[in-house]
């Protein structure tokens, strides 16, 4: 059976790191099994869903290199939900309820006040036909609930959490459809998972109790409507938290735009999120195949995964240090060639910083005051400078001999005179890029 996974964002906002991680893991799960990764746009909430977010989701996935093998939209599938709804109604698993939001809130408060869990009391199920007709005569339209079967515990073997067991009597019959006919998340998602042949549902642990409810929906739907379908497997990954250990607001708005603004490589985001919260080491791995091959749900931990920006920056730097000229060519400052890239690459945290270092080659550089001693030394450097294959090592060898200087005393004034900086890329690589003429001028200027 082909593995089919899905990523099902609601287009009510931009993707954030938590969503990106879920998308990535579903993508890896499918890739590893040679299966299909589907994008499902959960846009049943017409009021909050926005087309611009649908576009942004597609763009972000493309930027991350997580292209889906197919896309579906819930707003195109409403007829399927209607059919499922009718089928479930036909077997008594869906019932109308008439309570107002205020009435439900009051019930909740009373239960909580008595120290009881705020579970829906099934008041609507106890109504007589007359009572229902009276409501309708008053013009009250019902919303609809899915009737949970209280007979047996709900069990599943979770790919991350292991054996799970829920007592359905401890759950409220979920509202699946509003009085205006619009859908809540629960039923459409179960219908789609069956209809699209999803084999593996992998999502955040905030969905664990939804899974309990949806397992009963799957069972009821398979019996009533989808005879050939099979219930998917479930896995719920621990949530992502900030490094302070809390679900932070900042993480909830941290997404691809922010990464792009900070010039973070998509590969750094992928390398971090692929293994964060697992027992496998987070490493600057740029080959997707390696990440895919080592993807393994059994290595996922139960503790929240901590997202740390400094770890992302560290990975980004390590990944930039591995990038070839061809990969970055279009993003480099004008005139910077392969040798230039190789010279500055080890000094970069982000590709955009190449421009700062490139200025040391193209100039003008910062001038500074040198001591009399250093000026004499730099004058000597100008005399000793000869242009060959490896001008830096030739120059420093000769200067060492001529002046007796070594270590910092030898290297620092040269670096300062030639680049205007105390530190920076390897001088042996920089000097040929600065060129003979430029080097002579800079040494002369510093010595004057």
Q: Which residue lies nearer to ligand GLU by CB, 196 or 439? A: 196
189 binds ligand GLU (CB under 6 A): yes
**In the block, which residue shows the tokens 């107002």?**
100
Is 21 one of the binding residues for ligand GLU (CB under 6 A)? no
> What residues numbered 310-349 form the site for ligand GLU, per CB under 6 A?
none
Contact predicate 256/15, CB 8 Å: yes
- Site for ligand GLU contains 203 (CB under 6 A): yes
In this structure, what are the phi and psi dihedrals at residue 36, rounded to the nearest 5 degrees? -120, 140
Give yes or no for residue 211 binding ligand GLU (CB under 6 A). no
305 three-class SS: strand
Residue range at the interface with ligand GLU (CB under 6 A); choices 3-11, 85-93, 270-278, 383-391:
3-11
How many residues of this chain interact with ligand GLU, rule: CB under 6 A?
A: 8
| Residues 421/353, Cβ–Cβ less than 8 Å | no
User: Nearer Cβ to ligand GLU, position 75 or 280?
Assistant: 75
Q: Of 36-65, which residues contact ligand GLU (CB under 6 A)?
A: 42
Q: Tell me the C-alpha distance between 88 and 217, whole Å.
A: 9
Rounded to a whole number of angstroms, the minimum distance from the CB of residue 8 to ligand GLU is 4
Pick between residue 42 and residue 374 the one whose CB is nearest to ligand GLU. 42
Residue number with CB closer to ligand GLU (207 or 345)? 207
Nearest-approach distance from CB 392 to ligand GLU, in angstroms = 56
Instruction: State how far the Cα of 339 lies from the Cα of 77, in Å rounded to an integer.
Output: 55
Q: Which of 3, 4, 5, 9 binds ligand GLU (CB under 6 A)?
A: 9
φ, ψ at 11 (rounded to 5°): -80, 55
Site stretch for ligand GLU (CB under 6 A), options 7-15, 83-91, 215-223, 434-442: 7-15
Residues belonging to the chain = 448
- 208 burial level (CB within 10 Å; 0-12, 13-18, 19+): middle
C-alpha–C-alpha distance, residues 426 and 319, integer Å: 19
> Where are the alpha helices (H) located in 238-371, listed in sequence order?
249-252, 256-261, 266-275, 288-294, 309-320, 325-328, 338-344, 354-362
Name the segment binding ligand GLU (CB under 6 A); options: 6-14, 142-150, 283-291, 349-357: 6-14
8 forms part of the interface with ligand GLU (CB under 6 A): yes
Tokens linked to 111 = 């239960």
For residue 383, give both structure tokens: 């005399």
Q: Which residue lies nearer to ligand GLU by CB, 98 or 156?
A: 156
Q: Of the ranges 5-13, 106-114, 140-148, 267-275, which one interacts with ligand GLU (CB under 6 A)?
A: 5-13
Segment 269 to 288, residues that bind ligand GLU, using CB under 6 A: none
* Binding piece for ligand GLU, criterion CB under 6 A, among 8-16, 243-251, 299-307, 333-341: 8-16
DSSP 209-234: HHHHHHHHHHHHHHHHT-TT--PPEE
Residues that bind ligand GLU (CB under 6 A): 8-10, 42, 185, 189, 203, 207
């Amino acid at each position: 059976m082909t593995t089919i996974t899905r990523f099902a964002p609601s287009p009510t906002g931009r993707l954030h790191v938590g969503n990106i991680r879920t998308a990535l893991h579903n993508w890896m799960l499918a890739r590893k099994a040679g299966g299909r990764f589907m994008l499902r746009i959960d846009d049943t909430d017409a009021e909050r869903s926005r087309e611009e977010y649908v576009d942004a989701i597609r763009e972000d996935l493309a930027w991350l290199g997580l292209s889906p093998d197919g896309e579906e939209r819930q707003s195109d599938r409403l007829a399927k939900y209607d059919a499922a709804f009718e089928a479930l109604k036909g077997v008594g698993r869906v019932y109308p309820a008439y309570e107002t939001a205020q009435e439900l809130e009051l019930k909740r408060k009373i239960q909580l006040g008595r120290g009881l869990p705020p579970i829906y009391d099934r008041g609507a199920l106890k109504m007589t036909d007359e009572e229902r007709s009276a409501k309708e005569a008053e013009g009250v339209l019902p919303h609809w609930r899915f009737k949970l079967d209280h007979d047996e515990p709900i069990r599943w073997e979770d790919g991350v959490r292991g054996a799970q067991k829920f007592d359905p009597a401890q759950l409220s019959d979920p509202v699946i459809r509003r009085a205006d006919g619009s859908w809540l998340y629960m039923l459409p998602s179960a219908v789609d998972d069956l209809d699209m042949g999803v084999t593996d549902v992998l999502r955040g642990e905030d969905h664990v109790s939804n899974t309990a409810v949806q397992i009963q929906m799957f069972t009821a739907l398979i019996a009533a409507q989808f005879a050939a379908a099979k219930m998917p497997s479930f896995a719920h990954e621990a949530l992502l938290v900030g490094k302070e250990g809390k679900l932070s607001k900042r993480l909830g708005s941290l997404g691809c735009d922010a990464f792009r603004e900070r010039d973070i490589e998509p590969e750094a985001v992928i390398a971090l999120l692929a293994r964060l919260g697992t027992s496998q080491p987070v490493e600057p791995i740029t080959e997707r195949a390696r990440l895919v091959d080592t993807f393994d749900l059994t290595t996922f931990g139960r503790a929240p995964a901590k997202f740390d920006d400094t770890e992302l920056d560290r990975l980004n730097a390590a990944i930039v240090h591995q990038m070839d000229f061809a990969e970055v060519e279009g993003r480099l400052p004008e005139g910077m060639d392969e040798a230039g890239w190789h010279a500055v690459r080890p000094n970069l945290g982000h590709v955009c910083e190449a421009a700062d270092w490139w200025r040391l080659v193209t100039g003008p550089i910062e001038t500074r005051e040198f001591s009399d001693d250093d000026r004499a030394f730099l004058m000597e450097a100008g005399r000793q400078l000869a242009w060959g294959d490896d001008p830096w090592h030739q120059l420093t060898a000769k200067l060492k001999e001529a002046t007796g200087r070594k270590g910092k005393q030898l290297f620092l004034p040269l670096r300062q005179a030639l680049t205007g900086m105390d530190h920076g890329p390897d001088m042996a690589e920089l000097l040929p890029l600065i060129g003979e003429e430029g080097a002579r001028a800079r040494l002369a200027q510093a010595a004057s």
